[in-house]
């Protein structure tokens, strides 16, 4: 009998909140916290932030095992810009606990594991080995941004990061706008926070005036905001965006 691979959501406040974070039960369902508290084996994008997460779990529901003896193994770092590829053979080794009947958690730096992060290959490997996969509810910055955008929520796509190089980036923005127009489909992208402003400038400089642009910044944080407007009106206003807070960008042509 194999164990289960639980996909455990993380909060969206990674390192952004100053001071003591609120109780984890404010941001995650108790059912999720209870499951996290009893898992003794984890695969994580980042072991250090996972330990911080488990401390927050412990403050709500005591861990069944000392944090020191919880096993946390980091996912191999993906190659920058690599396409979604077949899982590397060593991923199977990460699945030893569930293969031996022990439940395991997969957790990301923020939000749902395997969405907009490198965890999907491990989930794929779990399916190939016949391990049961159970996703637990939590915040998804992409869906919160989409929901708050007022753009089309019945057809949408997420395409990750745009190229950094200006000419390529401009071409990609035009391509996404054309796709959006053809299919009536909201296109979502993300950016490393310190490039938020550069991306906003590129979007405003490239998109048609009538295209609607939505930005959600600092989702779930008290300072968070969402603004949706036509590109023409974005251009007319003072449009600033913090350099140190994650943002999601959506467009609908």
Does residue 102 bind a second copy (CB under 8 A)? no
Q: Applying CB under 8 A, does 132 fall inside the site for a second copy? A: yes
Identity of the residue, 69 or 111, whose beta carbon is nearer to a second copy in the bound complex: 111
Q: Is 176 among the residues that bind a second copy (CB under 8 A)?
A: no
Query: Binding of a second copy at residue 142 (CB under 8 A)?
Result: yes
User: Which parts of the chain are beta strand (E)?
Assistant: 4-8, 41-44, 71-74, 104-107, 132-135, 156-158, 186-190, 212-217, 225-230, 247-252
The region, left, alpha or beta by phi > 0 then psi within -120 to 50, assigned to residue 47 is: alpha
Position 134 contacts a second copy (CB under 8 A): yes
Residue 123: C-alpha distances to residues 83, 112, 119, 130, 250 (Å): 16, 12, 7, 11, 27
Residue 239, interface with a second copy (CB under 8 A)? no
Neighbours of 27 (CB within 10 A): 19
Could you tell me which stretch among 63-71, 94-102, 129-137, 235-243 binds a second copy (CB under 8 A)? 129-137
Give per-residue burial for 108-132: e unless 16+ CB within 10 Å, then b: bbbbbbbbbbbbebbbbbbeeeebe
Q: In terms of CB distance, is 72 or 151 closer to a second copy?
A: 151
Pick the binder of a second copy from 15, 26, 168, 223 (CB under 8 A): 26
Residue 129: closest CA among 83, 82, 168, 95: 95
Tell whether residue 120 is a contact of a second copy (CB under 8 A). yes
Asked if 150 interacts with a second copy (CB under 8 A), we say yes
Question: Restricting to residues 201-230, which ones interact with a second copy according to CB under 8 A?
Answer: 216, 219-220, 224-229
Please list every residue from 48 through 77 that binds a second copy, using CB under 8 A.
none
Q: Which listed range, 37-45, 50-58, 110-118, 195-203, lies at the site for a second copy (CB under 8 A)?
A: 110-118
Tell me the three state secondary structure of residue 215. Answer: strand
Q: With respect to a second copy, which residue has the nearer C-beta, 156 or 249? A: 156
Integer Rg of the chain from CA: 20
Decide: 223 and 189 in contact? Cβ < 8 Å. Answer: no
- Residue choice 48, 127, 174, 181 for contact with a second copy (CB under 8 A): 127
# of chain residues touching a second copy (CB under 8 A): 67
Is residue 144 a contact partner of residue 188, using CB atoms and an 8 Å limit? Answer: no
Q: Residue 68 or residue 240: which is nearer to a second copy going by CB?
A: 240
Please give the structure tokens belonging to residue 24: 């984890």
Give me the least distance between CB of 37 and a second copy, in Å please.
14
Residues near a second copy (CB under 8 A): 7, 12, 22-23, 25-31, 83-84, 112-117, 119-127, 132-135, 137-140, 142-160, 183-185, 216, 219-220, 224-229
């Amino acid at each position: 009998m194999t164990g289960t691979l639980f996909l455990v959501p993380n909060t969206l406040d990674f390192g952004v909140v100053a001071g003591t974070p609120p109780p984890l039960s404010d941001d995650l369902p108790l059912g999720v916290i209870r499951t996290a508290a009893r898992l003794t084996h984890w695969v994580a994008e980042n072991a250090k932030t996972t330990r911080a997460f488990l401390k927050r779990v412990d403050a709500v529901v005591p861990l069944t095992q000392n944090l020191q003896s919880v096993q946390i193994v980091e996912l191999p770092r993906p190659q920058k810009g690599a396409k979604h590829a077949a899982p590397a053979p060593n991923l199977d080794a990460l699945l030893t606990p569930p293969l031996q009947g022990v439940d395991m958690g997969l957790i990301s730096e923020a939000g749902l594991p395997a969405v907009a992060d490198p965890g999907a290959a491990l989930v794929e490997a779990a399916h190939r080995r016949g391990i049961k996969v159970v996703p637990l509810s939590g915040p998804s910055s992409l869906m919160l941004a989409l929901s708050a955008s007022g753009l089309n929520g019945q057809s949408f796509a997420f395409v990750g990061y745009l190229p950094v190089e200006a000419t390529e980036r401009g071409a990609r923005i035009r391509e996404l706008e054309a796709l959006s127009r053809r299919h009536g489909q909201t296109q979502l992208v993300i950016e490393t926070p310190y490039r938020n402003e550069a991306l906003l400038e590129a979007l405003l400089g490239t998109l048609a005036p009538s295209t609607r642009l939505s930005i959600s910044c600092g989702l779930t944080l008290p300072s968070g905001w969402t603004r949706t407007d036509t590109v023409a009106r974005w251009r007319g206003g003072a449009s600033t965006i913090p350099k140190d807070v994650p943002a999601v960008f959506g467009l609908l042509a």
